[in-house]
Structures are given as C-alpha cells and as structure tokens.
Amino acid sequence: MTDLPSRRLLLVHAHPDDESINNGATMARYAAEGAQVTLVTCTLGERGEVIPPALAHLTGAALGAHRLRELTAAMAELGVTDFRRLGGDGRYADSGMMGLPDNDDPACFWQADVDEAAGHLLRVIQEVRPQVLVTYDPDGGYGHPDHIQAHRVAMRAVELAADAGCAPAKVYWNRVPRTAGEDAFARLRRELPRLPFREAAALADVPGVVDDERITAEIDGGDAYTAAKAAAMAAHATQIEVHGDFFALSNELAQPVFRTEYYELVRGERGETGVLPAGGGDRASGRETDLFAGIAGIAEEAS
C-alpha cells in the first residue's frame, strides 16, 4: 500500500458496537485529522441480544448481516472508511457469553486457533503499517470470550509483526480510570429520574476500570467528537439505546457516554505528556493526550 498517511491507527474489536462505545471519540478525532484509522472486527455479533421489538426476529446470520449494516452506518458517523472483518465476513462466529454452550461451537471465535487468527491480522498490519494498535486487556475488559480472544489474537499478531519487522511502535489497552467512572456514575444517578432507563448500571459493569495510576493516555472528544461517538453508538440500534449523554444495552441499565477515552500503554515508549490547563481541569498531568506522541518521523496533520 503506497502513499500512506503519516499517522496510522489500528483498532481490534470483538463485535460491531464495541468500537463506538470504547473508542468512538478517538476514532472520530484521528479520522478528522487525516490519520489512517483502520478497524478490524473479529465477529459480526450473531449472538447479540436485540433491543428493538421490531428487530427481535433477527438471529444468527441475519442478525450478523444487519449488524454489519449498522457498523457501516456507525463508521460513516465517525468518518472511518477502512473497516474490516478478521479473515473476511463471517470467518469467525460470535461465541456468546462465557459459560454458554455457544462457546463450544467449532466455528466460533473462542475456538479459533490463535496463531491462525493472528496471521489474518498480521496481513492487515503488513498492509496498513500502523504505528499504534488499540485493543482489550487480557480479561477482554469484562470477561467475554470474544473480547479475551481478540486480546490474544491482537497481541500475538504484534509478536508476529515484530518478527516480520513491522510491529506497531505502541500498543494500548482500553481503560477507564476509577475516579472518572465514579464521577460519571454520580452524574448519571442525578440525571436518572429524567432518563427513559429503568435504573443505573454499576461501575463494575463498565469494562476495563482500573486505578487511576494505570492510565497513561487520554483523548478528550470535546463536543464534536463526542457527538460523533454518540451518533455512531446510536447507529448500532440492535444493541444500544442512546439518550443524550447516556446509553443502555439490552439489560436496560443506564451508563454514561464517556467523552474522554482512556488508555494504558503496554508496549512502546511514552511520548510527551499533557499538562493541567490553567485553573485546573480534567486533564491529568503526566498522561499523553495524543496516542502518537513520541513516535519518530510523524508529521503533524492536525489543524
């Protein structure tokens, strides 16, 4: 692939909708700034629970096809044009929640050979040459088998890419700092009487919550990129109901839409970190505010 943008970001996710919930503002920001943003989704989410009654008939392959259309609409909201399925559409099936018989389906992602699946991702890395890769932690954020497997495949692909001389310079895991989560849920509880959701989720329901000191980078979506994130989440209508700054999954438990997205650097060197704005603010001193910070040879494309 020739004429690549100087900044290239690869995100590896388990199902359609995970990318918008976790990284929608980040993806929108970098796409708007001219970076190459590539999303690899490992399954089509064929076993997801459907929220709207009018779509409740969708199951299996039909649901997967519908969720792919939702993903296409979500990427349009984020300005992302390069989004792929690992190994091609339908190569790996949704594994269902942990402990269910679905996990034993030979076609599901949980049963995939990690090296084989990582080989598919390696080919994307060799084509796109991302300097930054984002994925889940070893628990997949909250223990879903497809999220755990996405972590394993992504990290193995990074190893293979290192052997091939094309490894990303930096690898981040999706995170939420505990204090930011506590603040967001306190605001949610105040707003809950005015929301259409039956009750609030708990902070423990949010994937990737860790102590604040684990956070090494944060991307503030501001108004524009947060709005794009919310619109992308709403495009995943089978899975997400969005109302203002809050949303719910099929359990109908309200959660906040995080306008700032947080990361833990697990491979590579930290770059220049942000500083506290005059008069204070939410930006934590010592955290990167650009995932590409410190990578040599990158031309600034942001306005």
Residues making up the binding site for Zn(2+): 15, 18, 147
CB 181, CB 203: distance < 8 Å: yes
CA distances in angstroms from 239 to 1, 46, 83, 251, listed in the order given? 35, 11, 19, 10
As annotated, the binding site includes 15, 18, 147
CB 35, CB 5: distance < 8 Å: yes
CA distances in angstroms from 274 to 192, 268, 291, listed in the order given? 33, 18, 11
The CA-based angle 98-104-107, given to 5 degrees, is: 110
Instruction: Write the Ramachandran bin of 115: left for phi over 0, alpha for psi from -120 to 50, otherwise beta.
Output: alpha
The residue whose two tokens read 């900044």 is 7
> What is the b/e burial string over 248-281, where b = at least 16 CB atoms within 10 angstroms of the residue's CB?
bbeeeebbbbbbbbbbbbeebeebebbeeeeeee
For the beta carbon of residue 127, count every other beta carbon within 10 angstroms: 14
- In this structure, what DSSP letter does residue 300 have? P
- 184: tokens are 């967001």
